[in-house]
Structure 1
Amino acid sequence: MTIALGGPGVDGTVAAVDALREWQEDGAPPQLHPGDVGWFHRFGAEATAAALRTWSRGGRILAVGLLDGPRLLRLAIAPDALRDEELARRLVGDLIDPGRGVLPEGRANIEAPPGALLHDLLDAEGWGTDEPWTPLRRDLAGPVEDPGVRIEVVGPEGARERAAVHRASFQGSTFTEERWHAMAAGPVYADARCLVAYDDRDTAVAAVTVWSAGPGRPGLIEPMGAHREHHGRGYGRAITLAAAAALREMGCSSAFVCTPSSLVAAVATYVSAGFRALPEVRDRTRGDE
């Protein structure tokens, strides 16, 4: 059977997400999570579908890609297909040929799971590596410490405040109340929660969104941020603990996050909240041609 590249369309988004759910395992290499698709859904259902690519054989999805921008493909591969030569060669062929509708000519990045045969083939094509990222994971078998601040679960009525905290945490962010509602309307948000932390003056000081991949599977933190005017007061650690506790309540086996290694303070925040840093990963990169 040949491997087929497809764009799933709005109707096929759930099938792509379901495949991603099945591939999330605590012992598996970190890769694209259903929550990444859920967070992207802030741009709407049609934009999300347009950003997705699937590679299938015999009706089974073997790989899912999310175009997180025109020049970055975030790729997940079924654990039993990481070293599948036919799949790896088809992926490389589709990724290096702009006519296939995945990546354009010139500069491009690919995020792919460590250990995939794809990396060996990209080496042969002259692709390099980009800046390191640090994956971090916290086991959720035991209880999570109290965050020490008031935490509220965000519903539609709190979307404006949640979006405002996000914009105050990430410079240049375009997240708005409308985009929160678009995200919450997506199929992945049924297994997600937004949380906001408040200080003793009832000021919103940090926020997070957490995504479950199903009971007994790793849950994702994406994104987490502390209001820039309240840095240095432990609110990042507090909202991270609240995120881990929420994922545990949702039945997740662990909490997972990945952050640029250059953001030393962010890595330290996660470690202070009981997360363990895993070996660094790097995107594959192709320079301008």
Structure 2
Amino acid sequence: MSIVMRVATPDALGEIVEAVAGFQRPGRPVQLHPGDLGWNWSLGMQKLADAVRVWSRDGEIVAVGMGDDDGLIRMGIAPSAGDDAVLAGRILDDLPDGYRAVEARSGRAFRALLDSSGWVADESWTPLTRDLAKPVEDCGLRVETIDPHDVRDQLLHDRVAVQRAAFPTSTFTVERWRTMAAAPAYRRARCLVAYDNAGNAVATATVWTAGPGRPGLLEPLGVHRDHRGQGHGRAITVAAAAALQEMGSSHATVCTPTANTGGVATYVSAGFEQHPPVTDFRRPSR
């Protein structure tokens, strides 16, 4: 059985998103998700395609990697191929020198190969999940959902403004939101904006499903810098979990830097279960 690696093309992105959706299983490690691809789609189809590598075995996609400008590639591996040592070797051989780090939370064979090949532990991340089998409580804030078919300009501007106020280096814009919302991955997504009692837009989240009965993802989630310390992080997290539940997800999932102790505590307070940390792998020095 032959394994082939290719760089994605814009026309193939829809197929790749569906394949990555099929990788998501309840109880499995939090790995590359359709929402990760969907969020990066805001940068444009061609830029996303250039960043994506796909490994196929006899025509079936069994692994997908998405690189970023910092030299990190984030991997998703099909559960059926997690113990495939041949695939693991091929992925490692195919990684360009430009990738200094690998996010590989799934695929035991690939993780073991990275370890035995001298790759060392890099940044530590804490996965968190919330089981959506039980009802999700009210979040306590007014939460609006942006309808991509009937966009209210003020709501969209609020969503972008909170994003930029929550993340100091954010370059998110209205135009990027529209690009993202027009993509196939967004058909199973929602953007939420939360408002306090004074009518201020205080928090936002985008949630992505992978199809009914599969884990959904919170990516991204943030609180406006001028409205922190008031419980809005917990509130928007609960609202995001409720949205994923309405959309049929089995679980709400997120992964945050282990060093972000405040973020971990917020997710736990919103009913998420904290799992053992997992590290990225950094290429050995030469």
Give me the TM-score of the superposition, normalised by structure 1.
0.94
C-alpha contact 2:30 2:254 (8 A) present in aligned 1? no
Structure 1 partner of 2:73: 73
Match of 1:61 in 2: 61
Residue in 2 that maps onto 1:38:
38
Identity among equivalent positions (%) equals 53
Q: Deviation string for 1:139-161 (max 9, x for gaps)?
A: 00111110111000024322221
User: 1:59-116 CA distances to partner (integer Å, 9 max, x unpaired)?
Assistant: 0011011113251100011101111011011011112xx3xxxx41xx7110012452
- The equivalent of 2:158 in structure 1 is 161
RMSD: 1.3
- Equivalent residue number for residue 129 of structure 2: 137
> Do the aligned partners of 2:195 and 2:202 also contact (CA within 8 Å) in 1?
yes
- Once the two structures are superposed, residues 210-260 of structure 1 have per-residue CA deviations (whole angstroms, 9 ceiling, x without a partner) of 000001110000000001111110001110111000000001111000000
CA contact (8 A) 2:76 2:106 kept: no
CA contact (8 A) 1:114 1:281 kept: no
Equivalent position to 1:120, from 109, 112, 123: 112
Cα distance in 1 between the residues matched to 2:210 and 2:129: 15
Task: Give yes or no for the alignment of 1:111 onto 2:108.
Answer: no
The answer to whether the 8 Å contact 2:258/2:264 transfers is: yes
Structure 2 match to 1:177: 174
Map of 1:245 onto structure 2? 242
Identify which of 231, 248, 251 aligns with 1:254: 251
Distance in 2, matches of 1:239 and 1:287, equals 39
Q: Secondary structure of 2:271's partner? A: coil
Quick one: distance in 2 between partners of 1:66 and 1:9? 13
In 1, distance between residues paired with 2:68 and 2:191?
21
CA contact 2:81–2:107 (8 Å) conserved in 1: no
User: Is 2:86 the counterpart of 1:94?
Assistant: no
Partner of residue 4, structure 2: 4
Cα distance between partner residues in 1 of 2:113 and 2:250: 33
Q: Does 1:226 align with 2:228?
A: no
- Runs of 4+ aligned residues of structure 1 deviating over 6 Å after TM superposition are none
Alpha-carbon distance in structure 2 between the residues aligned to 1:4 and 1:70 = 25
1:150-208 deviations in Å (ceiling 9; x for gaps): 00002432222101101100111111111111111111001000000001111000000
User: How far apart are the structure 1 equivalents of 2:269 and 2:51?
Assistant: 35
Counterpart CA distance in 2 for 1:142 and 1:10 is: 39
Q: Distance in 2 between matches of 1:152 and 1:57?
A: 43
Amino acid at match of 1:271: V
With structure 2 as the length reference, what TM-score do the two structures score? 0.95
- In structure 1, what residue type is equivalent to 2:60? R
1:110 and 1:142, CA in 2 relative to 1: closer, same or farther beyond 3 A? same
Q: Secondary structure at the match of 1:22?
A: helix
State the secondary structure of the residue aligned to 1:188: helix
5+ residue gaps, structure 2: none
CA–CA distance in structure 2, aligned partners of residues 277 and 219 of structure 1: 16
Deviations 1:113-154 (A, max 9, x none): 245211222223211011211000000011111011100002
Match of 1:236 in 2: 233
- Count of residue pairs brought into register by the alignment: 281
Match 1:148 to one of 133, 137, 140: 140
Q: Report the Cα offset of residue 7 of structure 1.
A: 1.6
**What letter matches 1:132 in structure 2?**
S
